[in-house]
Amino acid sequence: MVTPSISSAMDARKRFSEIHRRLQELGASEVQIAQLASFKELQTLGQTKPSSRIVKILCAVMYLIVAIAVLLGYAAFMLLLVGQYLPEVPRIAQAHRSLSEIWMKSFMDKDIETETCLVDVPELLQDLFRPPVNCSICRDVGDIRKLSGLTQEEFERVYAYTARPVVVMDGMGNWTAPNFLSFEFFKDIYNEESPVLESNSPDCQFFPYKTKFDSLKEVFEMAPERANLSDGSAPWYIGWSNCDSTAANTLRQHYHRPYFLPPESESSKTDWIFMGSPGYGAHMHIDDVELPSWQAQIKGHKRWTLEPPPECYLECQILEVEVHPGEIIVLDTNKWFHQTLIIGDEMSITIGSEFD
């Protein structure tokens, strides 16, 4: 019987005519011939007009253009997505930055400097795709040193940009922060319209940690008993970035630039504040910020635990240090996994900033 594989419409028509003639010679009627399924298939294929060579060439060209467009789009998307995790090569970083700006301005009509992400990247994925760390930052670090009288030259040479952690015991100088900063102080410096209360600005971030607060506004609305750590009240610990310039002016009247920072170093315009009750703190994590930072322990006592990144586990040690009121810890939280725990029986208040 007729085979279903036909090379072309032209061959199908020839086969159709030949088989039709032979069936008639065998005495088959037109009705009987028309009822054969394979004959119907052959007849249908034979009625198909052959594609011209020009049409085939045009189709091939179109397929090629579409494939190239898809590949280029995918490559651009991947560069936008994972470019921040590529090795810190200036040319790669600049290419990623330029492409991101073109995409945001030309296609999204957005400003890359102020627009927030539509979907936050889960912390686990940030950890998985972070750039690998050079283990020289921790290979010979057996403890976190506590120093006083640290000169700007020594700080810059040994600690500032090497990711080697250090605690400066006399870093607050003549700060008045220990006498003024409190739960009520922060509650009073923000007016009802402050963007920091609802974290509704790209520069505002709020970290509830294990508490159930949704905003800083909710924190300041908690019952006085809980805010004052009365016996039996639920513990809490939160952090936020100050995006209120008016509040920043008030806050910075009570602290100064740490004396050990090099003269050419500039601090971020954003203050970070962490506050909470004993027994709570931040879980083990790694940050996704641009620069190393300092954190000043204004009140309370906090235990820091630092872990090297997984690629350095065999070469580096886990470090631990207690930071007490009046001391400043300096470290690169982008390279060290870290967690904190408030110890003692006082509320902990910490303020800090990034530096370049």
Query: Mean pLDDT per 10-residue run, the chain (356 residues)?
Result: 49 68 72 64 55 75 85 65 46 58 61 48 56 87 96 95 95 93 96 88 85 93 92 91 93 94 84 95 88 95 95 94 98 94 95 91
Report whether 13 contacts 43 (CB < 8 A).
no
Strand 301-307 and strand 319-323: the pairing is antiparallel
Q: State CA 13 to chain mean position distance.
A: 63
Q: Note the pLDDT of residue 18.
A: 75
Selection from 183, 328, 208, 353 nearest residue 267 by Cα: 353
Q: Note the pLDDT of residue 25.
A: 74
On the 0-12 / 13-18 / 19+ scale of CB atoms within 10 A, 47 is exposed
On the 0-12 / 13-18 / 19+ scale of CB atoms within 10 A, 86 is middle
DSSP string, 313-347: TTT---EEEEE-TT-EEEE-TTTSEEEEEEESSS-
Q: Note the pLDDT of residue 165.
A: 96
DSSP string, 114-181: TPPPSSPPPHHHHHHTSPPPPGGGTTT--S-EEESS--HHHIIIIIITT---EEETTTTTT--HHHH-
Q: Note the pLDDT of residue 271.
A: 92
Selection from 336, 314, 328, 319 nearest residue 143 by Cα: 319
Q: Note the pLDDT of residue 280.
A: 92
* Spatial separation of the C-alpha atoms in residues 35 and 125, rounded to whole Å: 63
Selection from 135, 183, 173 nearest residue 311 by Cα: 135
Residue 212 region, left (φ>0) first, then alpha (ψ -120 to 50), else beta? alpha
Q: How far is CA 341 from CA 168, 240, 282, in A?
A: 19, 17, 7
- 89, 73, 123, 84 alpha-carbon torsion, rounded to 10°: 10
Residue burial 133-150, b: 16+ Cβ < 10 Å; e: rest: beeebbeebeebeebeeb
Selection from 352, 16, 335, 320 nearest residue 162 by Cα: 335
**Model pTM above 0.85:** no
* Spatial separation of the C-alpha atoms in residues 252 and 229, rounded to whole Å: 26
Per residue in 199-213, pLDDT tens? 766 778 999 998 889
